[in-house]
Amino acid sequence: MTVKEKIDQLRAELHQHNYNYYVLNAPEISDKEFDDLMRELQDLEKEHPEYQDDNSPTMRVGSDLNKNFTQVAHKYPMLSLGNTYSENEVTDFYERVKKALNEDFEICCELKYDGTSISLTYEDGKLVRAVTRGDGEKGDDVTDNVKTIRTIPLVLHGDYPKSFEIRGEILMPWVVFEELNREKEAREEPLFANPRNAASGTLKLQNSAIVASRKLDAYLYYLLGEELPCDGHYENLQAAASWGFKISEHTRKAHSLEEVFEYINYWDTERKNLPVATDGIVLKVNSLR
């Protein structure tokens, strides 16, 4: 086996073990075995810089180099969601869709995760760009920082489109948020108001090594592109999950208004038991046709 082949093998193994641990929550090796593989790869990459790869698993540890964020225009604008606060408004929305389509339809019900929005671009199965929402038309390129988030795949597996965007939410879990605020309080520094502000502030740090240490998480919820695998939003999310993305296990398809309200009412109380913050429910017509 050549050095290049060994490096490629280690990268593939580490990507798979990372996915097993952080996305599937089903590790197949011990932390020590993972660290040993990582050190072996780091040593080989240091000895052979000619084989550098921006999507290597070693990129997840971050760097202490400063960087200025470049603004990037979104290919597809990142629009704000419409809000509703009453059952009557939800019913009106459902009836408008029913009248407009004049056929059976499904509503995709999702938790609205309370973090900072991100748009990820993949080409040939590799993460090439991560951009914040910004003003909806353009945002900051935070690719290096996003690469430190273990639940965001750097390299995909399976049958994925050649080029696409996937959008989601970068989150700081409650336990990480509470620990971070305890540390800030001990240093007599201002506390973060909520996990959303903490996630947003962390993503904009100039030191990606600190970003890596804060254990951000991510849920992806919207696939965009010219060659999507399915005609349904829910089905596209399941396809994305098979490529390595972390998709909420709580997303459901509703076939009636009653099922929509069952979902809303259930999560009105159960959301308090989630490991990350949410601030509502998102309803989407499932069909993309």
Write out the catalytic residue numbers. 112
Ordered DSSP codes for 156-187: --SS--SEEEEEEEEE--HHHHHHHHHHHHHT
Q: How many residues does the chain have?
A: 289
Q: In the β-sheet with 126-132, what is the strand arrangement from edge to edge?
A: 126-132, 116-123, 163-171, 217-224
Rounded distance between C-alpha atoms, residue 104 and residue 210, angstroms: 50
Phi/psi of residue 255, nearest 5 degrees: -110, 5
Start-to-end C-alpha separation, the chain: 49
| Eight-class DSSP state of 272 | G
Residues 148-173: b if buried by 16+ CB within 10 A, e if exposed = bbbbbbbbbeeebbeebbbbbbbbbb
Residues 6+ apart with CB under 8 A from 261: 87, 90
Kindly tell me the number of DSSP H helices and DSSP E strands found in the chain. Answer: 9, 9
Distance CA 140, CA 119 (A): 10
CB 218 within 8 A of CB 171: yes
Question: Which contacts qualify for 13-16: CB closer than 8 Å, 24 or more apart?
Answer: 13/37, 14/38, 14/41, 14/57, 15/57, 15/153, 15/154, 15/155, 16/157
